[in-house]
């Protein structure tokens, strides 16, 4: 095994955890965001990179890595990495699935509750010092009991979201490339209907809320476009904790302005951290700064897994969670 491999940590990290998993190596960074130039300078002499989802790991960048053996992405998604270029260069790419789905589903369900029960708007009301008293007809939102949640992408996060929805008495339908095992979802609540896989158009038309849990790929880019939004019910809500570019944000603003959907809860944006004009001033949207997996215990396990993947590849073993 390599003594003193050089590992570049491209973004702020939980370094105590990373250091524990990578003893005896030279570790650079981890306390700031490296820009494209700094990553380009560092990658030349790197044996490994511990990366974040905004790093530009395109073919040109990967091509600079003369000694590079492994990219340990500390995220579920890896749409910032050119996998073909990595494969051609013989660089193993790993990610951190299996450890952040419950936390991310917690946040997706938070957005669903917030947008349907108008908590952002209600809290702004109180903080603004506006008049209120207990009032039977004030700040009424939508209910979740018996409503239908449409899930696009039933991977680990989508499945965890579905279990939460079932616990709240929602019926779940989903769209995915393959039929999934839904036994764990259906076991949650005897009073909900069996979970069904449906075509995308049926999902959009039938759902009271649509939640995105797909990776960003050529197939899912703008899966929620103007047509999709027009297909949704006027009373329906959109939740996105996946990737901003799964939604045509300009079309979403139009649909919200036109009232062709009821609201949106967004943790991710097309051009983060820029928010498309219009969203900022709408009361019926909830805006979060990409914090889906940002629970401390989850982030610790993610850091540990990303670092352990690097350690394993550097010592000639198989990675635990390689990207296939
Ligand atoms: C966050 O967006 C992740 O992919 O883990
Ligand atoms: C989506 O998550 C799929 O696996 O098809």
pLDDT at 324: 84
CA-to-CA dists, residue 108 to 38, 175, 263, 266, 290, angstroms: 34, 17, 14, 9, 11
Give the C-alpha separation, 75 to 100, whole Å.
Answer: 8
CB 268 within 8 A of CB 243: yes
Q: Which of 55, 57, 73, 75 has the most ligand 1 atoms within 8 A of CB, as the residue to mutate?
A: 75
CB 72 within 8 A of CB 48: yes
75 lines ligand 1 (CB under 6 A): yes
* 307-321 pLDDT, tens digit each: 999 999 999 999 999
Q: What is this structure's pTM?
A: 0.96
Q: Which of 267, 292, 323 has the most ligand 1 atoms within 8 A of CB, as the residue to mutate?
A: 292
Arithmetic mean of pLDDT over the chain: 97
Instruction: Name the residue among 255, 261, 224 with its Cα closest to residue 240.
Output: 224
Indicate if the pLDDT at residue 27 is higher than 90.
yes
* 68-81 pLDDT, tens digit each: 999 999 999 999 99
CA 268 to ligand 1 center in whole angstroms: 10
Indicate if the pLDDT at residue 2 is higher than 70.
no
127 lines ligand 2 (CB under 6 A): no
pLDDT at 182: 98
CB 236 within 8 A of CB 205: no
Give the C-alpha separation, 304 to 82, whole Å.
Answer: 23
Mean of pLDDT values over 24-52: 98
Indicate if the pLDDT at residue 267 is higher than 60.
yes
* Cβ atoms < 10 Å from Cβ of 219: 9
CB 274 within 8 A of CB 302: no
CA 111 to ligand 1 center in whole angstroms: 16
Instruction: Name the residue among 111, 106, 74 with its Cα closest to residue 285.
Output: 111
Give the C-alpha separation, 12 to 31, whole Å.
Answer: 5
Residues with active-site annotation: 243, 272, 290
* 121-169 pLDDT, tens digit each: 999 999 999 999 999 999 999 999 999 999 999 999 999 999 999 999 9
ipTM above 0.85, yes or no: no
Give the C-alpha separation, 8 to 187, whole Å.
Answer: 44
Question: DSSP class of residue 267?
Answer: S
pLDDT at 323: 98
């Amino acid at each position: 095994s390599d003594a003193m491999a050089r590992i570049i940590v491209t973004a702020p990290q939980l370094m105590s955890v990373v250091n524990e998993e990578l003893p005896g190596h030279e570790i650079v960074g981890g306390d700031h965001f490296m820009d494209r130039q700094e990553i380009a300078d560092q990658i030349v002499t790197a044996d490994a990179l511990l990366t974040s989802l905004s790093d530009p790991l395109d073919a040109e960048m990967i091509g600079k890595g003369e000694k590079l053996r492994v990219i340990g992405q500390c995220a579920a998604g890896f749409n910032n990495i050119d996998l073909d270029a990595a494969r051609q260069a013989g660089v193993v790419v790993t990610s951190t699935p299996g450890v952040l789905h419950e936390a991310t589903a917690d946040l997706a369900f938070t957005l669903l509750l917030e947008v349907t029960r108008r908590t952002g708007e209600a809290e702004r009301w109180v903080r603004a010092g506006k008049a209120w008293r207990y009032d039977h007809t004030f700040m009424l939102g939508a209910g979740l009991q018996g409503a239908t949640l449409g899930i696009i992408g039933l991977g680990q996060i989508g499945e965890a979201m579905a279990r939460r929805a079932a616990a709240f008495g929602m019926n779940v339908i989903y769209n995915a490339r393959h039929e999934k095992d839904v036994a764990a979802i259906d076991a949650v609540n005897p009073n909900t209907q069996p979970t069904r896989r449906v075509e995308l158009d049926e999902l959009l038309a039938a759902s009271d809320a649509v939640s995105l849990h797909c990776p960003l790929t050529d197939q899912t880019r703008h899966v929620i476009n103007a047509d999709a939004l027009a297909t949704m019910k006027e009373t329906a809500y959109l939740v996105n904790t996946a990737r901003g570019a799964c939604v045509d944000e300009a079309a979403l603003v139009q649909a919200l302005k036109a009232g062709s959907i009821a609201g949106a809860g967004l943790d991710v944006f097309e051009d983060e951290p820029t928010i498309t004009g219009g969203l900022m001033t709408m009361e019926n949207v909830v805006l979060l700064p990409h914090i889906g997996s940002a629970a401390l215990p989850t982030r610790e396990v993610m850091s540990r897994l990303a670092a352990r993947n690097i350690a394993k590849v550097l010592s000639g073993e198989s990675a635990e969670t390689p990207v296939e």
